[in-house]
Amino acid sequence: MAQSQSQQGLSQFMSSLLADDSRYEGLDLVVAAIADGVRNVNNKVQAAAIADVLGTTGEVNVQGEIVQILDQASSDTFVDALRDCGRVAAVGSEEITEGTVIGDSPLHNYFVLMDPLDGSSNIDVAVSIGSIFGIWSRPPDISVTEESLLQPGNKQVAAVYAVYGSSTVLVVAVEGKVNGFTLNIATGEFELTHKDLRIPEKCEYYSAPEHNYKNWSTAMQEVVDGLRDTHSLRYVGSLVADFHRNLLKGGIFLYPGDSKSPQGKLRLMYEANPLGYVAEQAGGNVSDGSQRILDILPTKLHQRVPLIVGNASTVVDTIEKLQK
Ligand code: P6P
């Protein structure tokens, strides 16, 4: 059987995409470091799943420890990979209370904000989980402090996420281009499999935590009532999995604020901003229900934000209904 056409690899693709643009000096190295970390975390997730079978002997604490180890181990893995690439000045992580300085030379000209392992509680039921990264240029002549990490999402220069699912997919968004790469387990190479991703015009799905319905505003309840009548519900309960399906198939994801948690559950800096950036670069929209999320001026590293993201016209329509 003829060899399948070998797909273009990630590093080759990113080098060619960014080569001639001095604005992105070293960005390909940052993306390559994230990809290395994803390979490593993918192995850990598979191993934890196996170990988790042992945990079904009823030793809940073993299972709990595995999850905790896995969240922290994933964060450590990515911090180490980003430090080793020599281009990242500081990292913010959902697993680390403060920002972490990892380099302060003129070459360290990026900040990375990340959710190293989102949805890890789904590992014990073999549901897809993910890793999410927002990448900002380090503003010139700025000292590296936690405050300097707090840049608005509209200053991102790239965003990356990984889905650890039936396959391990890495999606990279840079200035109007969104491309997906699938991990070839045999070679360890990320191969270009989703070129020039654009969110479809037709919005097929909606994803929303309807278990919070009773705590939503009346306007939000009416919005979701409308979506339920005209769209198919798909809600995995793993943000990256829901986002990725909606990006490829057309859909809208909503995690609203409610009477118990007015700012919702999801984090601005390393969930809403990066995924919002990917959505916009693929022709979609992202809002907190009243404003473009990427325009929010952050005040805290771990602040939460209501999230509405996906198909452009459906997000706009939703905002109009909420603001009536
Ligand atoms: P709920 C996973 O815990 C997570 O942070 C996201 O991945 C997911 O979208 C959300 O929480 C699910 O929240 O309230 O439906 O369990």
Residues framing ligand 1 (Cβ under 6 A): 118-119, 121, 209, 237-239, 265
Predicted local distance difference test score (pLDDT) of residue 4: 44
Assess if CATH 3.40.190.80 describes domain 205-322: yes
Is the pLDDT at 182 greater than 80? The verdict is: yes
* Ligand 1 pocket mutation, candidates 235, 265, 267, criterion most atoms within 8 A of CB: 265
pLDDT digits (tens, 9 = 90+) for 257-287: 999 999 999 999 999 999 999 999 999 999 9
Determine the average pLDDT of the residues in 178-192.
97
Could you say which of 3.30.390.50, 3.40.50.300, 3.30.450.20, 3.30.540.10 is the CATH number of the domain covering 5-194?
3.30.540.10
Domain ranges of the chain: 5-194, 205-322
Nearest-CA residue for ligand 1 atom 2 is 119
Give me ligand 1 centre to Cα 108, in Å.
33
DSSP labels for 280-306? HHTT-EEESSSSBGGG----STT-B--
Helix H, strand E, coil C: the string for 118-151 is ECHHHHHHCCCEEEEEEEEECCCCCCCCHHHHCC
Please give the number of the atom of ligand 1 that sits closest to the Cα of 242: 9
Ligand 1 closest atom vs CA 118: 7
Is the sign of the CA dihedral 225, 231, 258, 283 positive or negative? negative
Residue 233 has pLDDT above 80, yes or no: yes
pTM beyond 0.75: yes
The model's confidence at residue 2, banded by pLDDT at 50, 70 and 90, is very low
- Mean pLDDT in residue range 253-258: 98
Element (H, E) at 114: strand 110-118
pLDDT band at 53 (very low <50, low <70, confident <90, very high): very low
- In this structure, the residue with its CA closest to atom 3 of ligand 1 is 119
